[in-house]
Amino acid sequence: MAKGGFRGMPGGMNQAAMMKQAQKMQQEMLRMQEEQEAKTFTAKAGGGMVAATVNGKHELVSLEINPEAVDPEDVEMLQDMVIAAVNEALRAADAEAANNMSRLTGGLNLGGLF
């Protein structure tokens, strides 16, 4: 093997440079994770009758229910709207996290490495 490098590595990148790049990527990933956890994502269901807000940690932080949506004769509909709003807000949080990770890794599939 050539001194200070790996055969077949693009540009003759040596191990120290690879480690430095990996550390930089890890620091950037941690920064992005902290930013993601601080964000909130809101989704509405039932034509805006129910609004759910989650944070990047997948915690429900707010639930707003329009009084007109409260029908004692149809509690199931209200429950469905709450579930739909919460799930959509969680999907929005996941989509942004995946998009951020894709930007960080340049679209590489690291298979759970991070």
d(CA 74, CA 85): 17
C-alpha to C-alpha distances, 20 to 2, 13, 16, 59, 71, nearest whole angstrom: 20, 11, 6, 34, 60
| Ranges of each domain in the chain | 14-105
CB 53 within 8 A of CB 86: no
Give the rounded percent of residues in the chain with a pLDDT score beyond 90: 52
pLDDT tens per residue across span 21-34: 888 888 888 888 88
Instruction: Work out the end-to-end distance of the chain between its first and last CA atoms, rounded to an integer number of angstroms.
Output: 29
Q: What does the mean pLDDT of the chain come to? A: 85
What pTM does this model have? 0.69
State the CATH architecture for 14-105.
2-Layer Sandwich (3.30)
Identity of residue 10: P
